[in-house]
């Protein structure tokens, strides 16, 4: 059965911008996230506390996060003049953290919400975070322990849930094992990433059903890249299985610098259009979302990969 409500986790300012050849400035990143919040998104990834050598696009995530948290404080204090696009509801700004060094930096910037990111593929894990899967779980256990002690919320990712750019097929049992380990170390939600966007709905469904034997489906999220044009269909399959949280990126931005050939995430506009059509409430206003998309596409000088956004633009 399809749900009445779905939560969208917007990853465009992280997954999206991390993969653009030209790095967006701090000011552009902050303005994009403000526009996304103004469109009704309540969970917006704000950056990554990773090596700036390896992912230069995510350098200065501390400045991005500080600016956003200052907005939140001004909103709570009722100082609407201080906030360009005031929002009336709490917005969470998760940031990616790979190790204790990243956690320290995130804490210093005031982070209240982090995401750790493991993989179901040994080869991808080594390329992405320079260690194997089990070693990464040990690192993340230390990160989660300290983060939870500091009252942070900790989300988990399992990449390569439907295939790996280096080793090809990935066993669903391994996806379930890694998801279970992340849940055991305190992640409140596990986002299952089709990092390279190779999955199809039947495969996505089988993977999600297998993982749900270990982690309740209420704690799972779908994070599907659109390389083969399957992301929306895979999300629909995920909703049918009982998943209620979906990761998307405005304008279909996205990709991982360590997953060659991967396209962007499912476009937020396409997912909101689909959910609206299904009568499922996401809380996101599609017309306001288009402001955010137009803004970032103009700044990056790139087209919008959302079919819904292009169709709506052609009408107006
Ligand atoms: P490492 O083990 O130290 O090894 O870092 P390294 O050789 O990969 O990196 C070395 C440099 O990073 C060293 O600096 C470290 O000190 C430094 P150097 O000595 O060369 O000057 N370093 C750090 N710098 C800043 N912040 C830190 C930090 N830690 C070490 N926290 C590390 C391991 C994971 C940090 C590194 O490999 C890295 O930053 N990798 C990038 C990972 C990344 O951001 N990947 C993209 C996000 S994951 C993704 O997109 C998938 C997802 O969307 C889901 C899906 O689609 O499936 C989430
Ligand atoms: Mg991704």
pLDDT in tens, 90-115: 899 999 999 999 999 999 999 999 99
The pLDDT value recorded for residue 83 is 61
* HSE, side-chain direction, 13 A CA sphere, residue 244: 13
- 158, 191 in Cβ contact below 8 A? yes
CA of 209 to the centre of ligand 1 (A): 31
Q: What is the pTM of this model?
A: 0.96
Is a pLDDT exceeding 80 seen at residue 75?
A: no
Mean pLDDT estimate for the chain:
95
Q: What is the phi/psi pair of residue 5, to 5°?
A: -135, 145
Tokens 């991982």, residue located: 256
Mean pLDDT, residues 41-68: 98
Q: Based on the residue annotation, tell me whether 160 is a catalytic residue of this protein.
A: no
pLDDT, tens digit, 9 for 90 and up, residues 116-150: 999 999 999 999 999 999 999 999 999 999 999 99
Give the three-class secondary structure for 5. strand
- 84, 104 in Cβ contact below 8 A? no
Measure the CA–CA gap between 151 and 149, rounded to whole angstroms. 5
Which ligand 1 atom is nearest residue 161's CA? 57
Is a pLDDT exceeding 80 seen at residue 88?
A: no
pLDDT, tens digit, 9 for 90 and up, residues 234-275: 999 999 999 999 999 999 999 889 999 999 999 999 999 999
Mean pLDDT, residues 182-192: 98
CA of 56 to the centre of ligand 2 (A): 17
Measure the CA–CA gap between 101 and 111, rounded to whole angstroms. 14
Is a pLDDT exceeding 80 seen at residue 33?
A: yes
Band of residue 233 on the pLDDT scale cut at 50, 70, 90: very high
Residue of 51, 62, 154 best suited for mutating to test ligand 1, as the one with most atoms within 8 Å of CB = 51
Residues with a CB atom less than 6 Å from ligand 1? 15, 18, 48-51, 53-55, 96, 98-99, 101-102, 117, 128-130, 157, 159, 193, 195, 223, 256, 258
Residue of 23, 50, 204, 207 best suited for mutating to test ligand 1, as the one with most atoms within 8 Å of CB = 50
Q: Could you tell me the maximum CA-CA distance found in the chain, to the nearest angstrom? A: 53
Helix axes 100-108, 61-76, angle to 10 degrees: 40
- Catalytic residue, from 160, 164, 187, 256: name it: 256
């Amino acid at each position: 059965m399809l749900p009445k409500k779905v939560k969208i986790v917007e990853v465009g300012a992280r997954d999206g911008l991390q993969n653009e050849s030209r790095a967006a400035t701090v000011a552009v990143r902050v303005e994009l996230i403000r526009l996304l919040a103004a469109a009704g998104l309540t969970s917006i990834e704000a950056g990554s506390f990773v090596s700036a050598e390896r992912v230069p696009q995510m350098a200065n995530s501390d400045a991005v996060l500080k600016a956003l948290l200052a907005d939140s404080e001004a909103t709570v204090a009722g100082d609407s003049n201080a906030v360009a696009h005031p929002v009336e509801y709490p917005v969470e700004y998760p940031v990616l953290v790979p190790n204790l060094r990243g956690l320290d930096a995130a804490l210093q910037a005031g982070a209240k919400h982090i995401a750790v990111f493991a993989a179901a593929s040994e080869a991808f894990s080594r390329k992405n975070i320079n260690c194997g899967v089990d070693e990464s779980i040990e690192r993340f256990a230390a990160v989660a322990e300290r983060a939870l002690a500091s009252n942070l919320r900790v989300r988990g990712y399992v990449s390569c849930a439907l295939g790996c750019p280096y080793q090809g097929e990935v066993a669903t049992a391994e996806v379930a094992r890694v998801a279970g380990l992340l849940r055991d170390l305190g992640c409140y939600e596990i986002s299952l990433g089709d990092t390279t966007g190779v999955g199809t709905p039947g495969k996505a469904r089988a993977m999600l059903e297998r993982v749900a034997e270990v982690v309740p489906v209420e704690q799972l999220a779908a994070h599907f890249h659109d390389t083969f044009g399957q992301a929306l269909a895979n999300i629909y399959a995920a909703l049918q299985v009982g998943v209620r949280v979906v990761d998307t990126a405005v304008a279909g931005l996205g990709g991982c610098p360590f997953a060659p050939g991967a396209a962007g995430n499912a476009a937020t506009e396409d997912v909101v259009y689909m959910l609206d059509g299904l009568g499922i409430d996401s809380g996101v206003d599609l017309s306001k979302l288009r402001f955010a998309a137009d803004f970032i596409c103009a700044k990056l000088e790139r087209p919008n990969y959302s079919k819904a956004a292009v169709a709506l633009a052609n009408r107006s």
